[in-house]
Structure 1
Amino acid sequence: MIGVCIPAHNEEALIEACLESVFFASLHPELAAEEVKVVVVLDSCDDGTAAIAQQWPFACLAINACNVGRSRAAGARYLLQHKARWLAFTDADTRVSPSWLVAQLSLAADVVCGTVEVDSWDAHGRDAQAARLRFEASYQDRDGHRHVHGANLGLSAQCYEQAGGFDAIECGEDQALVNRLAALGAQIAWSALPRVLTSGRPYSRVEHGFAGAIRQQAQPSVS
């Protein structure tokens, strides 16, 4: 079985598109009808996120951690209990391509670190063009990159357990896990093949996450 984990904290505006994209990815014919179990980890949600998620044929776990590391770990634990052989992670503000899971598995690696594409820079207002240009100048959306994104990450269940899973930290849990996997000698595919489209919003639920990184791209350096 293939497992997909989606942590969410008050994402009522974006999670519907995310869940729809994961649903279609789970039905890809090249998965040969292998079961795909999806779990949405509802972390301290007090908006309409839970009501939206519950309309889909996915499992929903409610926790009160306000911590993405704990959220991902809880989802992974649930999927491992249901005998997942492969764990795929994305975020509630992200849309995956129909071939997302197929692409991860096709790389025949222990770990797949994918890239992200920003859906729109409009939320940056007058700084949108500057943010986009600086991001594109520094970001490597190609094979051989060295980016780590929880929004586009996959790994074998065996490797996940060997590395001890996600740390209970508010940011950087994905990088910390991949660092441990690299130290253990895991075969890592740094690939742009699994495609996801993520929100370009400048502020998200995680202070120092991807939104914070691209927000800084809008701020010119001072020499």
Structure 2
Amino acid sequence: MIGIVIPAHNEEKHISKCLEAVLLAAEHPSLQGQPVEILVVLDDCSDSTAALVSAKGVTSMDVCFRNVGKTRAVGAEHVLKVGARWLAFTDADTVVPPDWLARQIEFDADAVCGTVEVDSWSEYGEATRTKYLALYQFIENHRHIHGANLGINADAYRRAGGFQHLIAHEDVQLVADLERIGARIVWTATNPVITSARRDYKCRGGFGEYLATLITSNTHMGVEPFMNADATPGIG
């Protein structure tokens, strides 16, 4: 079984498109009918996110953490308990490609770190887009880390200790822990997801805030928080 975990905090504007894409990926022919458990972890939602998730027939659970690391960790434990052998993580404002899961499984790795593309630069402008593209590595063996595009073997996840209860960079920490235990990690740009470039980002220190820093600086501000265990720039 494959388990997909999606944390969400007031994501009524994006969750439907996210789930439509995930449901399509779960039906990819290459999976040969392998069961897929999709779980949306509703973290202190006060809008219509829960109703929209229910309308798609997707399982959800309610928590009140306002902590993305803890939210991902609780979601992961749920899908592990129901038998998931592969864990896939994305975000509620993200659209995955149809072969997203299939590509992750094909690598036969302990973990797969994928890249992200931005849905629209209209709120940021051409200068910010140019700056971003100059810094980002759309190549194999990149070193970017995104909770919006991450897959992990269940055994490796457990051995690494799972997600730490961090309010930011929980994905970077988990990959560092995976490297510490000698996990085989694939860094690929062949299965990118498309994520929102909105200015009202939900997580301080995350990808949305990183984009915002590009507006005010010609340098990669905040590099250190985005470093992985090999001290190679990443963007969490």
Q: Which of the residues 194, 200, 205 maps onto 1:203?
A: 200
Q: Partners in 2 of 1:172 and 1:122 — Cα distance? A: 26
Is the CA contact 2:40–2:53 (under 8 Å) kept in the aligned structure 1?
A: yes
Is the CA contact 1:131–1:219 (under 8 Å) kept in the aligned structure 2?
A: no
CA positional deviation for 1:218: 1.7
Q: Which residue of 2 aligns with 1:88?
A: 88
Q: Secondary structure at the match of 1:211?
A: helix
TM-score after normalising by structure 1: 0.96
Q: Partners in 2 of 1:98 and 1:137 — Cα distance? A: 28
Q: Report runs of 4+ in structure 1 exceeding 3 Å deviation.
A: none
**In the alignment, structure 1 residue 157 sits paired with structure 2 residue 154:** yes
Deviations 1:100-144 (A, max 9, x none): 0001111111000000001101122xxx11110110000001111
Q: Which residue of 2 aligns with 1:73?
A: 73
Q: Which residue of 2 aligns with 1:55?
A: 55
Q: Which residue of 2 aligns with 1:21?
A: 21
Kindly tell me the number of residue pairs found equivalent between the two proteins: 219
Q: Which residue of 1 aligns with 2:106?
A: 106
RMSD, aligned α-carbons: 1.0
Q: Which residue of 1 aligns with 2:214?
A: 217
Gap runs ≥5 in structure 2: 220-236
CA positional deviation for 1:58: 1.7
Q: Partners in 2 of 1:92 and 1:17 — Cα distance? A: 9
Is the CA contact 1:121–1:129 (under 8 Å) kept in the aligned structure 2?
A: yes
**In the alignment, structure 1 residue 147 sits paired with structure 2 residue 138:** no
Q: Secondary structure at the match of 1:123?
A: coil
Gap runs ≥5 in structure 1: none
Q: Partners in 1 of 2:173 and 2:158 — Cα distance? A: 14
Q: Which residue of 1 aligns with 2:11?
A: 11
Q: Which residue of 1 aligns with 2:129?
A: 132
% identical aligned pairs: 46
Deviations 1:57-76 (A, max 9, x none): 22101000001001101110
TM-score after normalising by structure 2: 0.91
Q: Partners in 2 of 1:193 and 1:182 — Cα distance? A: 21
Is the CA contact 1:101–1:194 (under 8 Å) kept in the aligned structure 2?
A: no
Structure 1 range deviating more: 74-83 or 193-202: 193-202
CA positional deviation for 1:32: 0.2
Q: Which residue of 2 aligns with 1:174?
A: 171
Q: Partners in 1 of 2:14 and 2:82 — Cα distance? A: 27
Is the CA contact 1:144–1:190 (under 8 Å) kept in the aligned structure 2?
A: yes
CA positional deviation for 1:96: 0.1
